[in-house]
Amino acid sequence: MDEPVIDRASVRQRLLDAADELFYHEGLHRVHIDRVIEKAGVPLDTLRDAFGSTDELIRTYLRARHTRLQDAVARELPRYNTPRERLVGVFEVQGQSFVEPGFHGCALVTASAEALPGEVVEEIVTEYRDWLQNLFFDLAFAAEVPHAEELAEQLVVLFDGAGVSAWLDRRPSTVNTSRAVAEALIDAALQRQP
């Protein structure tokens, strides 16, 4: 009797979907890979075929989370008319996640918090942090903010704090506060002398 044909792309996506749900809601170190395989409803040996290793599944999960944010920013920011509005718009894009059912903060921040030095998480979190810093710097530079790098650092700190606050306080309205603080920081930076 022939063995059933397994669609690799489907198996890979099912594993990734299961990992996304479990890792995001429970944490990387609290979820054993057997639970991911069980939730995905795939044979045990398919993990290695689909990803090569558990580390690669984690890497793919975190990259997918990062890509979601990048895609949301790329999709939403063009609707803002000015560079200043786009700087504030990043916080409005972030705020959309605050109202999602089961919001547990930024997956990359929480993964980093539970990771040990040298784990695969570090690589992806570094990519994410570089992207976030560059996003704010590029937008601040486009807005002709003197000392754009300094403002970018301030906005990264605000972005992180807003995500953690919205999660821990279970308060989606945190976006209103982060938007107001971002506007104050941006306006103050625009008034500074070069």
Q: What is the DSSP string of 27-53?
A: -TTTS-HHHHHHHHT--TTHHHHHHSS
Q: Mean pLDDT, to the nearest integer, of 177-190?
A: 97
Q: Mean pLDDT, to the nearest integer, of 152-171?
A: 96
- Give the span between the Cα atoms of 99 and 165, in whole angstroms: 13
CATH number of 1-52: 1.10.10
In one letter, which amino acid is 29? H
Contacts with 179 (C-beta within 8 Å, 6 or more apart), sequence order: 88, 91, 92, 95
Percentage of the chain exceeding pLDDT 70: 96
Do the Cβ atoms of 36 and 22 come closer than 8 Å?
A: yes
Q: What is the pLDDT of residues 16-56, one digit of tens each?
A: 999 999 999 999 989 999 999 999 999 888 888 899 899 99
In one letter, which amino acid is 156? V
Q: What is the pLDDT of residues 110-138, one digit of tens each?
A: 999 998 888 899 999 999 999 999 999 99
Percentage of the chain exceeding pLDDT 90: 82
Do the Cβ atoms of 94 and 175 come closer than 8 Å?
A: yes
Q: Which CATH number fits domain 55-191: 1.10.357.10, 3.20.20.220, 2.40.50.140, 3.40.190.10?
A: 1.10.357.10
For the chain, what is the mean pLDDT?
93
Q: How confident is the model at residue 4 (pLDDT cuts 50, 70, 90)?
A: low
Check residues 62 and 2 and name the one with the higher pLDDT. Answer: 62
Contacts with 10 (C-beta within 8 Å, 6 or more apart), sequence order: none
Question: Which pLDDT score, from 0 to 100, does residue 1 have?
Answer: 47
Global pTM reads 0.90
CA distances from 175 to 47, 67, 75, 159 (A): 38, 21, 19, 10
Contacts with 83 (C-beta within 8 Å, 6 or more apart), sequence order: 139, 140, 142, 143, 144
- Give the span between the Cα atoms of 183 and 76, in whole angstroms: 18
All structural domains of the chain with their residue ranges: 1-52, 55-191
Question: Which pLDDT score, from 0 to 100, does residue 124 have?
Answer: 95
Question: Which pLDDT score, from 0 to 100, does residue 20 have?
Answer: 96
Q: Do domains 1-52 and 55-191 have the same CATH topology?
A: no
Question: Which pLDDT score, from 0 to 100, does residue 43 have?
Answer: 87
| The CA-based dihedral angle spanning residues 51, 52, 53, 56, taken in that order and rounded to the nearest 10 degrees | -50
Q: How confident is the model at residue 6 (pLDDT cuts 50, 70, 90)?
A: low
